[in-house]
Amino acid sequence: MALLFIILSAFFSTGINILVKRSGSSDTGVFRLLYFAASCILSNGLSIPALEYFSLPVALAGAFTGTFSFILLEAVAKALNYGPIGLTYAIQNAGALIPPFLMAALFGKAYGFSVSPFLIGGSITIFLGLMNSPREGLSPRWLFLSLISSLCHGIALSMFLYRVLFFDSSVTHPLVFFHAPPESDPWYSLFYFFSPFCLHCIKLLMKPQILYKEEISAGALAGLFNGASCFFLLFASSIAQTWEKPILFPFYAVVTLFFSSFAAKKFFNEDISWVSLGCCGGGIFLSVF
């Protein structure tokens, strides 16, 4: 069931990629400010936090995760100035391979996180598929920024899985510092978006920018898509069964690649990399064993 919500999340994530490429305005503070503002409004409109269930540790965990989202978007926006959009997003999405291995290393099978030889083989196959893109016009700065975005993406997605342990009172692992009622989860989502929104406010106050109409529409719409995408990601990680947890975010990366490839063909007449799609599809099939 969780994988169905991952497909919905990937659909909206593809919409973000299309808007960013069409608008060409993702490297402006105004675009990113409206992006996170709209994300916050939609995501929490779908799941309204109740004041009686407010939890400061949960809110701080959300703000901590949101900081990585802020760094990710900053890195991607700058990387697109130095390299191709397709490979930039492919490397960012490769960060989705981090959570199953990181969570298995930290918490192990007792908490539903395990790594099998098939998952390792599938992840390698998916990684090769994601990296099978044209490599024209690359620079060391682009590579550095793309890798930073991939690392931040992996950490943020790992935090999505980690937060689920907060709401299980039976968990006694030393890395789970507190417990909270499941009803406090919307506060995580609220501060996940509110944190980067505040950081962008500070950045704009320090360096004001001219407001353009195109930025308003592109930033707001991309933000609505991001809010929907993150809402479904968070919900999927909350309801994922034991067998789904290791492949949850690799599956997200693959479905996003599939949707983005066909969208790029339709809207921008870009060639589809059938080798990439085949590797990624085969990797996911291998990972479920």
**Residue-range domain boundaries for the chain:** 2-287
Q: How far apart are CA 31 and CA 223, in angstroms?
A: 9
Q: How far apart are CA 76 and CA 196, in angstroms?
A: 15
Predicted pLDDT at 33:
55
* DSSP per position, 85-102: HHHHHHHHHHGGGHHHHH
CA separation, residue 159 to residues 165, 182, 238, 251, 261 (Å):
10, 16, 12, 17, 28
- Cα 183 from chain centroid (whole Å): 23
Q: How far apart are CA 115 and CA 175, in angstroms?
A: 19
Q: How far apart are CA 66 and CA 195, in angstroms?
A: 6
Predicted pLDDT at 233:
86
Q: How far apart are CA 239 and CA 265, in angstroms?
A: 34
**What one-letter code names the amino acid at 205?**
L
pLDDT band at 153 (very low <50, low <70, confident <90, very high): very high
pLDDT band at 30 (very low <50, low <70, confident <90, very high): low
* DSSP per position, 109-127: GGGT----HHHHHHHHHHH
Which position has the higher pLDDT, 62 or 279? 62
What tens digit of pLDDT does each residue of 218-251 get?
Answer: 777 777 888 788 888 888 988 888 878 878 888 8
Predicted pLDDT at 283:
76
Which position has the higher pLDDT, 283 or 198? 198
Q: How far apart are CA 153 and CA 158, in angstroms?
A: 9
This model's pTM is above 0.85: no
Which position has the higher pLDDT, 257 or 20? 257
Predicted pLDDT at 124:
84
